[in-house]
Structure 1
Amino acid sequence: MRVKVMALTLSISMAAAQSAYAQDSDITSEPFMKAALTVMVFDYFAAKCKQGGGFAASDVGKVEAWETTNSVAQIRARLPEFDRHPTQKQQLELALSTITQQITNQYTNLNPCSVALSVSRMPDAQFAKVSPQLLSSVSKPPKTPKKAQQPPASKPGTVTSSSDSEIVKQIDSFGFNSRTAMGIGGFLTVKIYPIVLFRNGDALTNVEGLSFNGGIAAHKRAKPDEWTRWRRQGGKLELASKDGWEALPFSKTYPKLPENFKLNGLFRSLSGTGNVAVGGSQSIAAWEQYRFSSDGRVIRGNGAGGNAESGDVSVATSNVAPNQRGRYRIQGMMLYINYDDGSSERRILIADPKDPETAIWLDGVSYVRRKQ
């Protein structure tokens, strides 16, 4: 298998990792996303190899040595955790489909055993060398949320040592900042994201810190770079930086949501990546949406799609997950959803109490109101 074909794996792997919004520092980090996709590609062709009789005797030991040295079994065992990260899961599945189809279409008389062996020999498949920190994390069992502190969830656990009401009392309001990020096709776009403004003058630049295991004090100790100070000066909202006070692009802030607050409408989050912006031919898009009703019902859907070209080969793929239906309630700064299938999720909700029709933020990710 030629190196340029294997490079496609790494290219799409990097794209999927960059487009994912990190909800878990292990699972959705770039090293793990790349490792996960590499293992998935290997397993795909290894399964086809097994159907044809399996690896040659001289190659069995090489494959086993690669898996042992690079903790492949531990990485493989954690793949089901992507069920709690539907956007990243769909991006991985889309990338896997694109890669395997391109390799299969590009080579006649393809030997899946040779392809699987080539994947295991890739430099970036040597996780022990390129991502040693990854092996230290996958060797440990994933943290299990404490059942007494939250209901079973299809999303990452969000456990705190302090109750939501105690945290809400410490919050003055939510402000907004912006940053440049990669979008569909690899084009740069400006993302607006919320920050938490505390009454004591502290500012949290990553709202997911509110759900940190151990509480916000533990989060401040673990991730001090996500904390700073804030103030209002001359009608502007400012954050402290190493170069002094810097004004945010938005001066408006949102207070906590009122009691019995309801949402109504379709809200969608769209993300993506690719390399079209730099002359390439790969484009990936993923979406997630919630349709809320004022009577407390909610329908959740998500999907992904993309296309890629290599020479005369063009591949288009798509994946749409079945809708989930359930009921929701809003309490303080939290959105609780219990689905009819028995699953549930718990998200940090930020919205303008006076204008909830434009956009909302769930765990810091913006969902824009769409037409019905």
Structure 2
Amino acid sequence: MEIEGTILRGHEFEPIEGRVVVEDGEIQAIEESATDAERIVLPAFVNAHTHIGDSIAKEAGGGLSLDELVAPPDGLKHRLLRAASHEELVAAMERTIEFMRAGGTGAFCEFREGGVEGVRAIEDALAGVPVEATVLGRESIEAMEVSQGFGASGARDADFEREREATREAAKLFGIHAGERDAADIDAAFALDPDFLVHMVYVEPPHLDRLESEGWPVVVCPRSNLVTGVGLPPIADLAAHTTVALGTDNAMLNSASMFREMEFTAKLTGLSAHEVLRMATINGAALLDTEVAIETGNAARLCVLDGDSHNLAGARDPVRAVVRRAGVSDVERVVLPSTGSDNS
């Protein structure tokens, strides 16, 4: 397969006019040459924090507080999840996964409610889909054992010491929500030595210093934080101290569109388009121990945009156009390594 256009190469997204050659799911060559093709070829997105089981209840709970919406065990989403059948959960998650794939997402990290049964449900939803999922079980050590790790709700809910130790012994990923409602649970989350933290809306200067010294990455979900009324994370401050990735969080509250998350983040923070695109691709991939950069020898995880769409035609800066203007309707095709071919 050969794809011509402007290729955003490497970790710095250097715009290369030419073509990328893909064979057997791998990038075989990136060749500079004159081309009339108007495509923009960028790395597939990595959605670093999702709760897609909540797809059964999109836009439910308007006007409720964060605790009323999602606090375990009796927040609205947990009641709705318990009431849903396995088949209903799988069908709803399948549609969100397909929406993510069609919108250029090649990998995501899911905090999966429902214990072992919840993990099995998302495995069924992922069957035959070329999107790479890192599923972190919740609610039990057994759920961690059948998934890729453990996703803790937050240190205010439990101490999670047993779960952390079991996850460490299993050499799996441990992530935890922290600093979403206030700063009170951040130090307790730090004490667990997590592989990464989610939200960190109420991070304070000593926490920033600790993040930098320990190297703990943070996943921010600014649209979700806005919707739930908890405030907005200091993304620029976080990015100055540690690796920051983007996630769309709860499918009940937000579409799983990385385009929307990037645009919101860029316009909210004033961070450069390159920095925001890195948060949506390279940084999330590093957190999940994978690679999405467009480089020879890497697996082909590509999102190809129609640069001549009504929305993108005339754009002078391809990276800025991707981050601040592009949307799902501009996606021409998505190439992922499990098939090594066009997955559009």
Larger RCO (CA under 8 A, 6+ residues apart): 2
Q: Give the TM bin, normalised by the shorter chain.
A: under 0.3
Larger Rg: 1
Question: Please, what TM-score do these two structures have when normalized by structure 1?
Answer: 0.22
Question: Please, what TM-score do these two structures have when normalized by structure 2?
Answer: 0.23
